[in-house]
Structure 1
Amino acid sequence: MELPLRILNYHETRHNTNHTEEEPPAPVTPEENTPLLHRFPNNGSERNPVTTVIVSLLLVILIAGVIIGIYLLILQNDSENILPPVERPLQLVSRSQWDTSDGDQSALRSFPYRLRAVTVVQTGTERCNSTESCTKLLLEMQNNVTAVNATLPYNFLISSNGQTYEALGWLKCIPQATKNTTPTGLLLAFIGNFTETPPTQSQLQEAKNFFDTSVSEQYLHPSYRIFGKNKNDTPTHLIDSLKAFPQWSNEFSDKN
């Protein structure tokens, strides 16, 4: 009877052993994980005030830099798009454009280098406002000239619409025109009669262009002076307008 009992006990022991191996592991209690968590505390949810201030300051600097860069770029583009003011160049009509006769100028005298004076007069005629009407008027004036070479005694003439017409040019003058006159220089005529009405703004602007061009081309000395003529038909309004020029002189070129 002992043998069967041993066999029974053996089977029960095997059954218990197998049952124990098949049982799932016991769950881990929170107390067992807690020590590891306490060794490495999680402070991610807490913000350092100093770090926040530094990050905010860097962000403000970055935004300010971007704004300044955009502003400077806009200023640069605007400065590139803005063109400097351009003065209207001299509206010169050469002698050959309005007078095709090509008259003999052998009696004319050459001017000295870099004149220091410009005498301003009026033609005493009607005004003209276009190349066509001015050409017609100038040819009529030239046909009525009885002086040397039957040519206009002016170096240049300025029309009401702001054109400069070449007559003798920068380098020539009529000998008689320089006798008993002080000082000697270019003779610039304003086309029209200005004893009662002033010259147009286009004429005055073209006169400025003429003076500037004459200086830059070295026909006039930079310290030149502008003179009027004191005769019976003094162009009072023309002289009053020219007094605004810094080169204007209160003396007259034909003073006695």
Structure 2
Amino acid sequence: MQPLYSVEHETRHNTNHAEEENVERPEENTPLLHRFPQVVTERTPLTMFIVSLLLIILSAGVIIGIYLLVIQNDSENVLPPVENPLQLVSRSQWDPSNEEQSALRSFPYRLRAVTVVHTGTNQCNSTETCTKLLLEVKSNATAANSTVGYNFLISSNGQTYEYLGWLKCIPQSTKTTTPTGLLLAFIGNFTETPPNTRQLETAKKFFAASESQQYLHPSYRLFGKNVNDTPPILGQSLKIFPQWSNEFSDKK
């Protein structure tokens, strides 16, 4: 005969097992996400505006940064413009003899006037042709028992030729109301045609170099010298310079 406690134990075990089997089990194909509550965030117009504004600011910052970087690289790669210096041909280069002339006197410090004339001769556009022309001018002056008074001359190809230089001049035989100062000549005859652009640009460089080296005073003026030496057409061309006075240095 089976013991009573064993039957009761088996009965309770079978009852518990049946209850566990009766518990509804979730289907295996049910997603696990269904076990958690879903939180839905509502997108309000204000939120959309703030997000859009932040994106615009971020994009603008990136664009500005790239632009500044490009500008910086370009500025480092671009070289400053180089201005052609004054092409000065010294007296010793075209006139090796360069005899000292006793008639010359020294200029005072920092002149306040420049007289601009033309040579009234043919033009020259190379060192060779200009050397030949200047030697002829010197020879003719010597034959006439006179001295060429030009301090510098400018050729049609933009070269500046030293004659007496910055520190010497010929004494004036007559008193003038306007100081003569440096005597700058454009090589050529400009009674009918004006000097070319290259000559005028060279004159500008000459004035700037003379002032920077303190041969000219910062308040210097430009003058002509009678109608024959400074024809009206030449005077009209010189009006591009603010220092031009439209007066003659030999005005009595």
- Which TM-score band (shorter chain)? 0.7 to 0.9
Alpha-carbon separation, structure 1, partners of 2:222 and 2:52: 70
Alpha-carbon separation, structure 1, partners of 2:60 and 2:106: 69
CA contact (8 A) 2:157 2:199 kept: yes
CA contact (8 A) 2:123 2:156 kept: yes
CA contact (8 A) 2:156 2:199 kept: yes
Alpha-carbon separation, structure 2, partners of 1:147 and 1:214: 32
Cα distance change of structure 1 residues 243 and 53 upon mapping to structure 2, 3 Å threshold: closer
Match of 1:99 in 2: 95
CA contact (8 A) 1:122 1:191 kept: yes
- Name the amino acid aligned to 2:200: L
Map of 1:220-231 to 2, 5 A cutoff? 220-231=216-227
Match of 1:170 in 2: 166
- Name the amino acid aligned to 2:231: P
Alpha-carbon separation, structure 2, partners of 1:170 and 1:149: 23
In the alignment, which of 41, 47, 53 is matched to residue 46 of structure 1?
41
Match of 1:144 in 2: 140
Cα drift, residue 194 of structure 1: 0.6
In the alignment, which of 177, 180, 194 is matched to residue 175 of structure 2?
180
Match of 2:29 in 1: none
Cα drift, residue 64 of structure 1: 1.4
CA contact (8 A) 2:117 2:229 kept: no
Match of 2:60 in 1: 64
Percent sequence identity is 68
Cα distance change of structure 1 residues 144 and 73 upon mapping to structure 2, 3 Å threshold: same
Cα distance change of structure 1 residues 251 and 39 upon mapping to structure 2, 3 Å threshold: same
Cα drift, residue 22 of structure 1: 8.2
Alpha-carbon separation, structure 2, partners of 1:232 and 1:84: 43
Map of 1:140-219 to 2, 5 A cutoff? 140-146=136-142, 152-175=148-171, 177=172, 179-181=174-176, 182-219=178-215
CA contact (8 A) 1:178 1:184 kept: no
Q: Flag structure 2 segments of 5+ consecutive residues without an equivalent.
A: 27-32
- Name the amino acid aligned to 1:228: G
Match of 2:109 in 1: 113
Match of 2:71 in 1: 75
Equivalent residue of 1:145, what SS? helix
Cα distance change of structure 1 residues 63 and 234 upon mapping to structure 2, 3 Å threshold: closer
TM-score (norm 2): 0.81
The structure that has the greater radius of gyration is 1
TM-score (norm 1): 0.80
- Name the amino acid aligned to 2:68: L
- Name the amino acid aligned to 1:239: G
Cα drift, residue 234 of structure 1: 4.6
- Name the amino acid aligned to 2:59: I
How many residue pairs get aligned? The number is 243
